[in-house]
Structure 1
Amino acid sequence: MDIGKSLMTRLSPGGRHGLASTEQRDPIGYAVAALNKLAQSDLLDRVGLRKQAEQVVFTSTREGFRTVTAASRQFKKTGGKGAGTRAPAAPRQGVFDLTPTEDEQMLVDVVSEYAEEVVRPAAAEANETCEAPEAVLKAGLEIGLPILGVPEALGGISEERSAMAGTLVAEALSKGDMGIALAALAPGSVATALGLWGTEAQQQTYLPAFTEDSAPAAALALQEPTVLFDVLEPSTTARRTPDGFVLDGTKAGVVRGAEAELFVVGASLDGTPVLFLVESSTAGLTVEAEPSMGVRAAALTTLRLEGVTVPADAVLGATDGSTYTECVRLSRLAWCALAVGTGQAVLDYVTPYVKTREAFGEPIAHRQSVAFMVANIAIELQAMRLLTYKAAGRAAAGQEFTREVALARKLCSEKGMAIGNDGVQLLGGHGFVKEHPVERWYRDLRAVGIMEGAVLV
């Protein structure tokens, strides 16, 4: 995989962002140039220092607000024909080695720096305002998050299936904040879906916008506000017409839906789940704010489709349910990665805390009950990571990964919540107040077993 090199090429003077010369630099030089540029960016100074007074405070009303989405971008339809460009599967190594490649590690280093220096300082305020700061999202664009899963031939940075790289990036971002990670990854998830399943015409119509400096907000809409919701049996319907399809239904948990310009909507067509591309300017499409318990920075919304008419070429992928099912699996894989990253943040926070917090004249880490609880977090976290990486590795290689992702999601949803709960417990009274971020991580981790869609790798 040559993701790191492709990324650094885009950050060169000849590329989009002009970070450093790609001539006369080795891979380490690329990484250093990227990290130096990120550290020197004035975006770091603005994050956390500038009040986001103009941001919409979703929590100011229990019912939220309702608005008709506006078309701020015109996607130019093309007459391309064919199945579209696909990134090849990653080569099989023949051994179970979870060590990231040099290029993957380079990418993780850049994203980790972004998560630590940009995302985490902005997390508390983003949680209060229910919106990721614009400066933070712009910094994410600068390091190439929207084009991570787009094939290099289409203007992206991926030379092969990016499930493993996407998993590593989602984990690294979530260590900063899961809500902001969702907000930053959502547009790239739609671009990745187009790269995986889009026709040539669809790719030529939409992907160029994601490779620009101002990539559009976009969202994956699979979740529905239904009791005992089964993501593989959506209640949103698609009805055939002579000119295309008519969509009716309601989607929930749509990331940044109020500003999204393109949606990938799951609907039932003749009893089979299918994905549809829906532009925000389409008549009958409305968005309502949906303030949530966790991942509040993702600006979750409810998407209502009332007689939404889309053309025949709006179908994304196959209509036999296979594309939709793969989308669900890749989305669950992304949620597992987010759980691993947030769980690691909890472990990294509570470990020094219990070593310095004293009770009865000694650190509470000297108590066996405390030490065992911290050790258990580390054990469960490593199990979550191993299962997630194995599923990602098989997905990247183009192998069947249904069983692996099911096991990973089962473990990450249950143990992720347990890790969040134990983190709050270890901090005692401090775990219940907003002075410490553990209570926010606990609320975020509860979303792993509930949310469907939103992001994919």
Structure 2
Amino acid sequence: MNAAPPKPVERRLPSEEARELLALTRELVDRELRPRAAEDEAAGRFPREVFRTLGQAGLLSLPYPQEYGGGEQPYEVYLQVLEELAAGWLAVGLGVSVHTLSCHALAGFGTEEQRKRWLPGMLGGTQLGAYCLSEPQSGSDAAALRTRADQAADGSGDYLVHGTKAWITHGGQADFYSAIVRTGEDGPHGISCLLIPGDAPKLSAAPPEHKMGMNSSPTAQLHFDGVPVAADRLIGEQGQGFQIALAALDSGRLGIAACAIGVAQSALDLAVEYARNRRQFGRPIADFQGLSFMLADMATQIEAGRALYLAAARRRDEGLAFSKEAAMAKLFCTDTAMRVTTDAVQVLGGYGYTQDFPAERFMREAKVLQIVEGTNQIQRLVIGRHLTRG
């Protein structure tokens, strides 16, 4: 059975428009996401039509400028929408985060001509994007990537891309890929960014990975077997790709943090509801101190994580450096999601270990959030370097 819809969490929102946006998101979650999440996860069905519904509602373009078809919402608001989506169905919340990440390179580093040409379509609600950085032998060490984009011999300046990207969310389903590829020497200075159409010739996807969770979100390798890419699809300068990738990841990590808090909140709501109704020794188990203290710790961790990601978002909105804060938010919020979902299974006891309740699904889903967008070990390295550099 599914968890009861949670009571809305009190939010600090900067405008009436933002409040209406969050109310619309909750309505869509209750109507379109939560009722089908468990069944589609069990069947491994990718809910492409759900993303079209969200696109029609304007939820696939929230943090980007209106002149290109975006919602022009502060990141503080966008992340709270993302949290609500992930609370209803993580595969959808994370999918929206990935789509937003895939638009970042063009929006932040593209020329005005490139933005006007491609960004409205990418933000229009009918397209879905993917972000291609990791490779089979290049994960945390992103500067070691080997997928190459060599310029064609005809002197046109166009590229031919060879190599394999791995762990690509929406791999084989996306309409476009923001791909980080090697165009020069080894190391970070030989890396560039290309915007590659999803239907490009000689681009293919492997069968989706078999995962412990997030089964309705396809994760697949992409094979580039001499994929032709026009020269005008180079985003930024040649050799600027590593900088573009890191800038995108800072924002993407905030998206993962918000998704993590959404999953944790749903797990807590389920645990509280169960503890109120489950009776042992003549009273609700919520009355027992050992369990009520566990719920209190879960709630406190969630509120702390939410405050942390929102504080980082406000720095981003104000144009301040936020790389360290994004790493802190991603680290703390995803570790919190893992703890809270594990504790939710414990609160439900034997029922928590069955698929009759979504607690076990929340726990399986939370695990991946400690890995994507840079493992939590990498986040600690990022934070440590910020603290110790001069």
TM-score of the pair, normalised by structure 2: 0.83
Q: Does residue 1:430 correspond to 2:351, yes or no?
A: yes
Map 1:437-456; keep pairs closer than 5 Å.
Answer: 437-452=358-373
Note the residue ranges of structure 2 that are not aligned, 5 or more in a row.
1-10, 375-390
Partner of 2:168: 254
Q: Per-residue displacement from partner, 1:226-281 (whole Å, max 9, x unpaired)?
A: 47633454343344454233333322332322222210112244322432211123
| Stretch deviating more after TM superposition (98-107 or 233-242) | 233-242
Do the aligned partners of residues 256 and 322 (structure 1) sit closer, same or farther apart at CA in structure 2, a change above 3 Å counting? closer
Letter in 2 for 1:275: C
Partner of 1:27: none
3-state DSSP of counterpart to 2:50 = helix
Partner of 1:108: 22
3-state DSSP of counterpart to 2:298 = helix
Q: Does residue 1:379 correspond to 2:291, yes or no?
A: no
Q: Per-residue displacement from partner, 1:351-400 (whole Å, max 9, x unpaired)?
A: 12112112232222222221121111111111211111111111122210
Partner of 1:156: 70
Partner of 1:407: 328
| Stretch deviating more after TM superposition (256-265 or 135-144) | 135-144
Q: Does residue 1:352 correspond to 2:263, yes or no?
A: no
Match of 1:266 among 180, 192, 199: 180
| Stretch deviating more after TM superposition (332-341 or 295-304) | 295-304
CA distance in structure 1 between the partners assigned to 2:79 and 2:123 by the alignment: 21
CA distance in structure 2 between the partners assigned to 1:191 and 1:176 by the alignment: 24
Whether the 8 Å CA contact 2:122–2:129 is kept in 1: the answer is no
Seq. identity, % = 29
Partner of 2:288: 367
Do the aligned partners of residues 215 and 387 (structure 1) sit closer, same or farther apart at CA in structure 2, a change above 3 Å counting? same
Q: Does residue 1:279 correspond to 2:197, yes or no?
A: yes
Report how far residue 111 of structure 1 moved.
0.9
Partner of 1:220: 131
CA distance in structure 2 between the partners assigned to 1:227 and 1:203 by the alignment: 30
3-state DSSP of counterpart to 1:141 = helix
Letter in 1 for 2:197: E
Partner of 1:309: 228
Partner of 2:380: none
Partner of 1:237: 148
CA distance in structure 1 between the partners assigned to 2:235 and 2:139 by the alignment: 26
3-state DSSP of counterpart to 2:115 = helix
Report how far residue 188 of structure 1 moved.
4.2
Q: Per-residue displacement from partner, 1:184-215 (whole Å, max 9, x unpaired)?
A: 45444434543222222322322232455x61
Q: Per-residue displacement from partner, 1:12-34 (whole Å, max 9, x unpaired)?
A: xxxxxxxxxxxxxxxxxxxxxxx
Q: Per-residue displacement from partner, 1:150-189 (whole Å, max 9, x unpaired)?
A: 311122221x6x4222211111111101012233454444
3-state DSSP of counterpart to 1:399 = coil
Whether the 8 Å CA contact 1:145–1:185 is kept in 2: the answer is no
3-state DSSP of counterpart to 2:36 = helix
Whether the 8 Å CA contact 2:61–2:70 is kept in 1: the answer is yes
Partner of 1:298: 217
Name the one with the larger helix percent: 2
Q: Per-residue displacement from partner, 1:88-128 (whole Å, max 9, x unpaired)?
A: xxxxxxxxxx8211232221111122112211111012202
Q: Per-residue displacement from partner, 1:388-413 (whole Å, max 9, x unpaired)?
A: 11111111222100110111122123
Q: For this pair of structures, how many residues does the alignment match?
A: 353
Q: Does residue 1:170 correspond to 2:55, yes or no?
A: no
RMSD: 2.3
Whether the 8 Å CA contact 2:264–2:336 is kept in 1: the answer is no
Report how far residue 417 of structure 1 moved.
1.1
Q: Does residue 1:99 correspond to 2:12, yes or no?
A: yes
CA distance in structure 1 between the partners assigned to 2:236 and 2:269 by the alignment: 41
Q: Per-residue displacement from partner, 1:259-318 (whole Å, max 9, x unpaired)?
A: 222101122443224322111232331112223222222222221223333233222235
Whether the 8 Å CA contact 2:101–2:248 is kept in 1: the answer is no
Report how far residue 222 of structure 1 moved.
2.3
Partner of 1:334: 255
CA distance in structure 1 between the partners assigned to 2:280 and 2:192 by the alignment: 57
3-state DSSP of counterpart to 1:412 = helix
CA distance in structure 2 between the partners assigned to 1:376 and 1:435 by the alignment: 25
3-state DSSP of counterpart to 2:276 = helix
Q: Per-residue displacement from partner, 1:310-333 (whole Å, max 9, x unpaired)?
A: 233222235333222111111111
Report how far residue 452 of structure 1 moved.
2.4
Do the aligned partners of residues 371 and 327 (structure 1) sit closer, same or farther apart at CA in structure 2, a change above 3 Å counting? same
Partner of 1:147: 61
Partner of 2:116: 204
Partner of 1:95: none
TM-score of the pair, normalised by structure 1: 0.72
Letter in 1 for 2:303: Q
Letter in 2 for 1:316: I
Whether the 8 Å CA contact 2:267–2:359 is kept in 1: the answer is yes
Do the aligned partners of residues 274 and 415 (structure 1) sit closer, same or farther apart at CA in structure 2, a change above 3 Å counting? farther
CA distance in structure 1 between the partners assigned to 2:251 and 2:197 by the alignment: 23
